[in-house]
Amino acid sequence: MLVGESIGLKEGKATRVAFGETLVELGHEDPALVVVDGDLNNSTRTDLFKKAHPDRFFNVGIAESNLVGVAGGLASCGKKPWIASFAAFLLCNAFDQVRMSIAFPQMNVKLVGSHGGISIGEDGPSQMGIEDFALASALPGFTVVVPADEPSTRALVRQLHAHNGPGYMRTGRPNVPIVYANDAPVRLGKAHELRNGDDVTLVACGLMVAAALEAAALLEREGLSARVLDVHTLKPLDEETIERAARETGRVVVAEEHLCYGGLGSIVAAALARRWPVPMRFVNLKDTYAESGKPRDVLVKYGLTAEDIVAAAHQLIPKPILSPA
């Protein structure tokens, strides 16, 4: 397991698998749902939809720009397309088409960028989607979602499908810890408090949510109380919940599997600068591409672990001196 083992979190499915399985269920419920893939359906796990609903699955090949254009056309005819590819390919290769064919006309198309972040490990930097939060959030009218685990992915896929408008969801390659029960109480556009605390707020999304929970447990051993927020919806951001946490704890650490520019940290910092400025620290990939390697080793090398979140918290609050028992 990449994170969460030390606090007893059980390993669940990869979010890409939970996405694919939920898409099959939605396909049974909504005949207008169609899926378009860029020849990666066995990786994005839209292959599950292909098997269940072959008449509503379209593979356009390794042609991301065409993938987006086809989806925009289908949406203009009343269909509800979900399109999938690796995050690095879908947004980086086809950003202009996403901008003009989906964002500008506000088409009801949902994009899924699989293999997000550096935790894909051995696939290497060419396939690591580390710019996707910034690119997707820059598109007017887009809803941007990054689920933390299997149950929250299932809930958010359904809610995103029900939302009328363009959206982007990042999914990951590795299996991830189970953070939520099967009836995950997540709501699109609403940050979810997983743990209360008074000394510091740990804001995270995706894989880093389990790491934040692990960091909170480590801080508790030192006598520090950390609040943990799962900000699964980057856009629209739940500014009220984040502001309340900042007011009540006075310090914020933001953790994400993304570059330091334009991601969750930038979005949260901008919101708090307007509403309630507090001292902040950021745990992210900084300004670099990663190397290929074992997923856990890569996360350790680039500072995306619970220990790194703890270290960031210690920059904001002194490590307490515990009295002898």
**Model confidence pLDDT, tens digit, residues 157-210:** 999 999 999 999 999 999 999 999 888 899 999 999 999 999 999 999 999 999
pLDDT at 1: 63
> For the chain, how long is the longest CA-to-CA vector?
71
pLDDT at 42: 94
Does the structure show a pLDDT above 80 at 323? no
Say if CB 175 and CB 11 are below 8 A apart.
yes
pLDDT at 123: 86
* Confidence band, pLDDT 50/70/90 cuts, at residue 320: low
Query: How much is the pTM?
Result: 0.94
Q: 11 - beta bridge partners?
A: 177
pLDDT in tens, 206-226: 999 999 999 999 999 999 999
Burial call 108-130: b when 16+ CB within 10 Å, e when fewer: bbbbbbbbbbbbbbebeeebbbb
Does the structure show a pLDDT above 90 at 112? yes
d(CA 128, CA 289): 9
pLDDT at 322: 55
* Domain-wise residue ranges, the chain: 5-170, 192-315
Q: What CATH number should be reported for the domain whose range is 192-315?
A: 3.40.50.920
Does the structure show a pLDDT above 90 at 260? yes
Q: Active-site positions?
A: 64
Does the structure show a pLDDT above 60 at 325? no
* Confidence band, pLDDT 50/70/90 cuts, at residue 319: low
Task: Indicate if 192-315 has the same CATH topology as 5-170.
Answer: yes
d(CA 224, CA 310): 10
> What CATH superfamily is the domain 5-170?
Thiamin diphosphate (ThDP)-binding fold, Pyr/PP domains (3.40.50.970)
> In the chain, what percentage of residues exceed pLDDT 70?
97
